[in-house]
Structure 1
């Protein structure tokens, strides 16, 4: 799994108008559509990273890619080959990262003498952990609060809209506690964990709560700005409403102030929700494809590694027609 501010994930959609709608769609025609999407996605990702880093010639590499939606004349289709129609919409999720990041992962894998099945953007894996490719009704906002970053993925009607990240995670709260209480980072982390587990005496608990509250507003602003970017994206042109369901995971989500902040109505009033979003926490028992025989995966912090495991199971399963076509396209492209 890979994450971070410079890991860019987005869903690119093209609408292909067929000149001969009565003819059945062939694999060759579908390959051409996918190749067009991929070329456009790579160029957009390079521009985004160049703008954010200030380096115009930044070298990026495709991390992972998946077809998330295919529609023919407005109807969602699992496998378009053999269908007829005029307008074909193909949506593909791609995540890109600077090549130096991926090189570091490859070095670690080789030193451990392991086989690399696939590199995947962590928010992409988390967004898929509640359903499969056949899940067409799943909609929600997945917020994974890790140590260094908060990763956000938006899924609507089974299709992944995109993933975004910002550099504010659990370690920010730990560092604030360490600075305010004049203790080591390790001691501050221990206090934070005891606080979330409600193991501190009332006086110390109140002190930690006051310290954490100072950074919660900044974190909430990050969530608001990120979701605002999603609502202004190309895929929201027809329906600008965000899914009114938020799923939380990651070790940082155990802070009670996180849920409390998201449940306040003020932060979401300027965002395009049909109603104030419901807040739900993802627990390991909600990932039905995995069984924890160790009994050690007990809380929100286990969701991301479990989601990556779930993705690994998908990769070792039977390959779909769309996956097969995608592989052929990727083999012909240099990204």
Structure 2
């Protein structure tokens, strides 16, 4: 079943929170909207993070609600403790393991060259929505085997409008015989959106938006890459890897595999005998040392401890990365109707801190079986690539913070700052 998009209260206050749920931790970002310059800038002015036990959150779905509420209360307190501000609004993002992202194209041929009537315009958008709804239900039925899951549209955006082959900003007063509309829509199961609303209520917050992470990131980097850029986004998250295909500046589709950074951590834990969180620290230290070696800035601080487990860490990463790459390659084959892929591949997510990720992507011949327009070029995104975001905390230099920070775009959009 499909339900119409629900609406949230829109206060247009210059302060809001972003809350994220990972496989083993949660995060809170306190944000201020600065409108004093020529463009609105979301300044991240506070940050808090809390570890949660494994299986408290699975693939973005809360399993132990009370534990998650307590963790978020602590994270919110940490992020806002030095700020003399009352935060009321919150933004949540959903990755491609939960959200179903797709672009729908509708083409309408009409007689005459009179301006489109309001009825014709409504018909174009109605036809587009109906086509998107049907495609979303078909997609979730394919994945889950259940065609009766209630879905809600969490994000919708017009990618482009063409009249007689010419791009226009609006259909109002447009004249022409052939009308084409491309619209992005993202859907989520109703139980997920209700879960997040319940979480916000428990934290005494108002849900300003629940949005597709892939949409928020694409919209945030579009000013840097061009309004109609083509490419692929690979987000190596904590418990999933999400791949989004972008054409003409819009997300055409996105898919996910349930292999992410936590799987590398679990394997390191297994081979070294460390606890999960001990293995996570070891993985982080290992990634840092490798990066410093590549940049010729290596200090001796972490070396003795790491050398003892270096072989085991290599072995653990190697055993998981083969499965990970096979899954990524399989995802590309599942993008139905896409004949070629843009050659720029943009990497993000905490998992890309592992140097082996970039190595295996660039050196393995896996791309030869995929119809890229030209040999792919891999680009690591950083926070500076987000057009509307500024980090005032000095704490967010990891790629794991890029997608959460990009959710700021949704607040700007939904509260008419743009």
TM-score by length of 1: 0.87
Aligned residue for 1:118, secondary structure, equals strand
1:68–1:93 CA contact under 8 A, matched in 2: yes
1:154–1:162 CA contact under 8 A, matched in 2: yes
Aligned residue for 1:80, secondary structure, equals coil
Q: How many angstroms does 1:265 deviate by?
A: 4.8
Counterpart Cα distance in 2 of 1:213 and 1:180: 12
Instruction: Name the CA shift for 1:264/1:16 in 2 (closer, same or farther; >3 Å).
Output: same
Alignment correspondent of 2:371? 272
1:6–1:49 CA contact under 8 A, matched in 2: no
- Is 1:136 paired with 2:235? no
1:143–1:152 CA contact under 8 A, matched in 2: yes
Counterpart Cα distance in 2 of 1:153 and 1:311: 18
Instruction: Name the CA shift for 1:182/1:318 in 2 (closer, same or farther; >3 Å).
Output: closer
Counterpart Cα distance in 1 of 2:364 and 2:269: 31
Q: Which of 163, 173, 186 is residue 254 of structure 2 equivalent to?
A: 163
Counterpart Cα distance in 2 of 1:261 and 1:202: 23
Structure 2: give runs of 5+ residues left out of the alignment.
1-92, 290-301
1:244–1:276 CA contact under 8 A, matched in 2: yes
Alignment correspondent of 1:227? 332
Counterpart Cα distance in 1 of 2:118 and 2:333: 37
Q: Which structure shows the bigger proportion of residues in strand conformation?
A: 2
Counterpart Cα distance in 2 of 1:56 and 1:140: 31
Counterpart Cα distance in 2 of 1:133 and 1:76: 21
TM-score by length of 2: 0.71
Moved over 6 A (4+): none
Counterpart Cα distance in 1 of 2:98 and 2:383: 28
Instruction: Name the CA shift for 1:50/1:36 in 2 (closer, same or farther; >3 Å).
Output: same
Q: Which of 203, 216, 229 is residue 125 of structure 1 equivalent to?
A: 216
Q: How many angstroms does 1:203 deviate by?
A: 4.7
| 1:171-192 C-alpha deviation (Å, 9 max, x unpaired) | 1111111122222111111111
Q: Which of 84, 93, 96 is residue 187 of structure 2 equivalent to?
A: 96
Aligned residue for 1:25, secondary structure, equals coil
Counterpart Cα distance in 2 of 1:133 and 1:63: 25
Alignment correspondent of 1:9? 101
Counterpart Cα distance in 2 of 1:111 and 1:260: 43
Counterpart Cα distance in 2 of 1:134 and 1:73: 27
| 1:249-291 C-alpha deviation (Å, 9 max, x unpaired) | 1111111011111112511101111222111111111113112
Counterpart Cα distance in 1 of 2:98 and 2:400: 23
Counterpart Cα distance in 2 of 1:152 and 1:71: 27
* Structure 2 counterparts to residues 187-206 of structure 1, below 5 A: 187-198=278-289, 199-200=302-303, 201-206=306-311
Instruction: Name the CA shift for 1:28/1:161 in 2 (closer, same or farther; >3 Å).
Output: same
Counterpart Cα distance in 2 of 1:310 and 1:288: 9
- Is 1:303 paired with 2:402? yes
| 1:24-75 C-alpha deviation (Å, 9 max, x unpaired) | 1244322211111111211221222123222232211112111112122222
Counterpart Cα distance in 2 of 1:302 and 1:17: 45
Counterpart Cα distance in 2 of 1:295 and 1:57: 46
Counterpart Cα distance in 2 of 1:118 and 1:97: 13
1:25–1:81 CA contact under 8 A, matched in 2: yes
RMSD: 2.0
- Is 1:28 paired with 2:119? yes
Structure 1: give runs of 5+ residues left out of the alignment.
320-335
Counterpart Cα distance in 2 of 1:74 and 1:159: 18
Alignment correspondent of 1:37? 128
Q: How many angstroms does 1:107 deviate by?
A: 0.2
2:96–2:255 CA contact under 8 A, matched in 1: no
- Is 1:116 paired with 2:207? yes
Alignment length (residue pairs) = 312
